[in-house]
Amino acid sequence: MKIFSRLLITFICLNLTACSANTIYRSQDARGSVTYSDIPTPGAKPIRLSTSTQRSSHQVAKVLDGDTLVLKTGERVRLLGVNAPEIQSRHRDGEPGGMAAKAWLQHKIGGRRVHLEYDQEKQDRYNRLLAHLYLPNGEHVNLTLLEEGLAVVNLLPPNLRHADAMIRAQQRAEKQQLGIWSLSDYTPRPLAKISQKSRGWQRFLGTATSLKRTKRYSRLIFNDKIDIRIDNNHLSLFPPLETYLHKPLEVRGWVSRRNDHYSIQIHHPSALVLR
């Protein structure tokens, strides 16, 4: 419950037009329902929000791929807010653009001293550090990867620092057809053509016809075999989901399959583009 509350506070603050003095207010009604607001109400408790930026300096030992590196300390770092195509390994096939992204990152940071900036969650479930990467001259490497079309935006709450700047960087690359945006492998395909061969990050086009809500997820339904799902804890980041119904929609993400049903989980509205 404490973890859920912290996440909810983060999501609300990110979507309020103004958090006065970095404070929001928690109130609880007679039924035990908890709400958060930037407007104080009788009996509400103020909660101070941390806005400090944590940065540390490190030496790069090795670049593993276009969004992952190893520090001299042996720690692995996964770049926040971006996803570069996979490179070939013993466990998976390479994806178009993967080697180009790795080569670019190797040239940019290989053996160099860099600065890491952390967000709300500092590590992922694989114990990798999650960070924005900066060069000594101030260049934001995550952002440059997007501007060059070498990676795509992949925003996972609660780590949403620099989200707007990263979305704009991707939009510029897409408009100019740079990097992966010029590759036919990433051209949007009709959702009706989704299959078990749909691997890696993909773009699909379709029209959601209905909305289904469960205790954990809200789902935009495209047909009886395809939906996209949004964790209800993330809904505060999105406009009303009815906004997406009966309109041409581009969905960006990874396909999961269960029996003959396909689903794409969406964590942030940047992965849904009205066309």
pLDDT in tens, 63-104: 999 999 999 999 999 999 999 999 998 888 899 999 999 999
Domain limits, CATH 2.40.50.90, in the chain: 54-181
Q: Which CATH number fits domain 188-274: 2.40.50.140, 3.40.50.620, 3.40.190.80, 1.10.260.40?
A: 2.40.50.140
Q: Name the residue among 159, 175, 194, 147 with its Cα closest to residue 273.
A: 175
Residue 128 above 90 pLDDT?
Answer: yes
pLDDT at residue 90, rounded to an integer: 82
pLDDT at residue 4, rounded to an integer: 46
Task: For residues 192-197, give the mean pLDDT.
Answer: 80
Task: For residues 160-166, give the mean pLDDT.
Answer: 98
Domain limits, CATH 2.40.50.140, in the chain: 188-274
pLDDT band at 19 (very low <50, low <70, confident <90, very high): very low
pLDDT at residue 60, rounded to an integer: 99
- The pTM score is 0.80
Query: Can you give the length of the chain in residues?
Result: 275
Distance CA 49, CA 5 (A): 13
User: For the domain 54-181, what is the CATH code?
Assistant: 2.40.50.90
Distance CA 162, CA 141 (A): 12
In this structure, what token pair is assigned to residue 264? 């794409």
Torsion over CA of 251, 253, 256 and 257, rounded to 10 degrees?
40
